[in-house]
Amino acid sequence: MPEASSQFRVLGGTRLVGEVNVTGAKNSALKLMAATLLAVGESTITNIPDIADVHIMSELLTRLGCTCTFDAKTGTMKILVPEVPGHRADYDLVRKMRASINVLGPLVGRIGKVEVALPGGDAIGSRGIDFHIKGLIDLGAEAHSEHGYVIATAQSGLIGADIFLDFPSVGATENLLTAAVLAKGVTTIDNAAREPDVVDLGEFLIGMGAKIEGLGTSTIKITGVSQLQPTTHATLADRIVAGTWAFAAAITQGDITINGGRIEHLEVPLDKLVEAGAVVTKTPNGFRVKMTKRPIAVDVATLPYPGFATDLQPFVITMNAIAEGNSIVTENVFEGRFMFVNEMQRLGADIHIDGHHASITGIPQLSGAPVAATDIRAGAGLVLAGLVSEGETTVEDAFHVDRGYPGFVESLRALGAKVERI
Ligand code: UD1
């Protein structure tokens, strides 16, 4: 893994041209790994990206008594789950990676007890877990938070229930889905998240023997089974990484073929790129984004899937910062996500924040400066901003980017970027 203290040095002024390969999605891989806890024996997950968070999840599962073997070259992860796994996820790991919370559902569902450190807020805003707790209580668990831990128990097992989520939370849908597959009777989750990651997790569970209907819709119906078996599954392609490259092409007036990208998972963001002047075409193995002029500014509001993903918001802000015209970007999912705008302002971007709205006046070119990554996507956005800044930009805290993008610098260099890790 790259050094924790490293930074990216970017020289502005190059178009990105060429091909990139998209591997499995971070947001699927981590959830699939946690879900292996539901069955005793060895599950195999392929197309796993070699990123820092995957190694953190391996460590968490190892501490729970599993044996994780990762072949980074082939992207194959084998997880051997014991008869009686541990039940506690400590703060030192949860604070590094919020997806640790995804062991909550599988452990309470299978062994009837779990303690997971509360993840707290992070650089993109406060990230509650009240829906997770309320849903587990609906399923008959005793669940509460105490001394910084969520503690849930269900000594005689969970019982199917009708659950309604106040917001289509991805994390809550995943935890309740993985809890309900072993519950007695039928569970429905209404206002469920429809993200492709949730569908991928559901298909993994079906491969283990779970009975699930309605994946990809707002109502998921789960009929509990008494036991699940280990399975083999290929992780879904990363739509956020594919979307990052799509914006990278538009921002740099480049031409990138995104192999493995799934156009059908990016309809709204790609429509926005077309509105900005890009040409998007399907290719046999993915799609291609080509931009031959300065982008035209577009208004965007982030929303749960199939809306514009909050994870792509830094890229549309970066594009609008150098686009022709004015725009408004509204963040509806995470209030802290505009923290990275302060860094964009250091590069000369003309952006004003008013609550959850960012008003952006496009300027022809940014001006290179030292900046710092505040989270995964903000870090990648700042590197792309550096590519359209005059002179040199350094992006500190590169480790954020390593949490989400395997071989980011190598891919950028292959596309012609002047970037290095220092
Ligand atoms: C979110 C994104 C997901 C993205 C991931 C990583 C959405 C809907 N979800 O998923 O696409 O890949 O971040 O950046 O865009 N909330 C509560 N109580 C809860 C659970 C959630 O109030 O119990 C709130 C959160 O604070 C947040 C919103 O609901 O404002 C969405 O949260 P959720 O979807 O659970 O977040 P992630 O699973 O992290």
Say if CB 359 and CB 328 are below 8 A apart: yes
Say if CB 302 and CB 286 are below 8 A apart: no
H-helix segments, 280-338:
313-321
Q: Report whether residue 331 contacts ligand 1, using a CB cutoff of 6 Å.
A: no
Residue 119: predicted pLDDT: 79
What six digits make up the tokens of 188? 């429905």
Calpha distance 111→84 (Å, rounded): 7
Calpha distance 71→69 (Å, rounded): 7
Q: Is the dihedral of CA 263, 267, 268, 271 positive or negative?
A: positive
Task: For residue 54, give the 3-state DSSP assignment.
Answer: helix
Residue type at 319 in one-letter notation: M
Say if CB 37 and CB 174 are below 8 A apart: no
Q: Report whether residue 27 contacts ligand 1, using a CB cutoff of 6 Å.
A: yes
Residue 124: predicted pLDDT: 57
Residue 114: predicted pLDDT: 97
Q: Report whether residue 171 contacts ligand 1, using a CB cutoff of 6 Å.
A: yes
Among the four given CATH numbers 3.30.1370.10, 3.65.10.10, 1.10.10.10, 3.40.50.2300, the one describing domain 8-22+237-421: 3.65.10.10
Average pLDDT, 10 consecutive residues per value, the chain (422 residues): 74 97 96 98 97 94 98 97 96 89 97 90 66 96 92 96 97 98 98 98 98 98 98 98 98 98 98 98 98 98 98 98 98 89 97 96 97 94 98 94 92 98 92
Element (H, E) at 410: helix 408-414
Calpha distance 99→411 (Å, rounded): 26
Say if CB 79 and CB 42 are below 8 A apart: yes
Burial-class residue 83 by CB neighbours within 10 Å (0-12, 13-18, 19+): exposed
Task: For residue 49, give the 3-state DSSP assignment.
Answer: coil
Q: Looking at ligand 1, which atom is closest to the CA of residue 304?
A: 8
Are both 8-22+237-421 and 26-234 of the same fold?
yes
Q: Please choose from 300, 308, 310, 333 the residue to mutate so as to test ligand 1's pocket, defined by most ligand atoms within 8 A of CB.
A: 333
Q: Please tell me which residue in 50, 122, 190, 299 is annotated as part of the active site.
A: 122
Burial-class residue 48 by CB neighbours within 10 Å (0-12, 13-18, 19+): buried
Q: Which of 274, 310, 307, 266 is nearest to 290 (CA)?
A: 274
User: Which residue's alpha carbon is at the smallest distance from atom 35 of ligand 1?
Assistant: 169
Residue 126: predicted pLDDT: 57
**Look-up: residue for tokens 């990651």?**
197
Q: Indicate the pTM of the whole model.
A: 0.95
Q: Report whether residue 166 contacts ligand 1, using a CB cutoff of 6 Å.
A: no
Taking only the tens place, the pLDDT of each residue in 256-308 is 999 999 999 999 999 999 999 999 999 999 999 999 999 999 999 999 999 99
- C-alpha distances in angstroms, 128 versus 115, 169, 171, 233? 16, 10, 10, 30
Q: Which CATH superfamily is domain 26-234 in?
A: Enolpyruvate transferase domain (3.65.10.10)
Tell me, yes or no, if 122 is annotated catalytic: yes
Say if CB 188 and CB 176 are below 8 A apart: no
Residue 290: predicted pLDDT: 98
What six digits make up the tokens of 378? 């903000």
Calpha distance 183→45 (Å, rounded): 24
275 CB contacts (<8 Å, ≥6 apart)?
Answer: 296, 298
Q: Looking at ligand 1, which atom is closest to the CA of residue 334?
A: 30
H-helix segments, 289-366:
313-321, 339-346
User: Which residue's alpha carbon is at the smallest distance from atom 14 of ligand 1?
Assistant: 311
Q: How many DSSP H helices and E strands does the chain contain?
A: 14, 26
Residue 3: predicted pLDDT: 46
Beta strands in 211-278, from DSSP E residues, in sequence order: 211-213, 219-223, 232-234, 255-259
Q: Please choose from 51, 138, 167, 311 the residue to mutate so as to test ligand 1's pocket, defined by most ligand atoms within 8 A of CB.
A: 167
Domains of the chain, by residue range, sit at: 8-22+237-421, 26-234
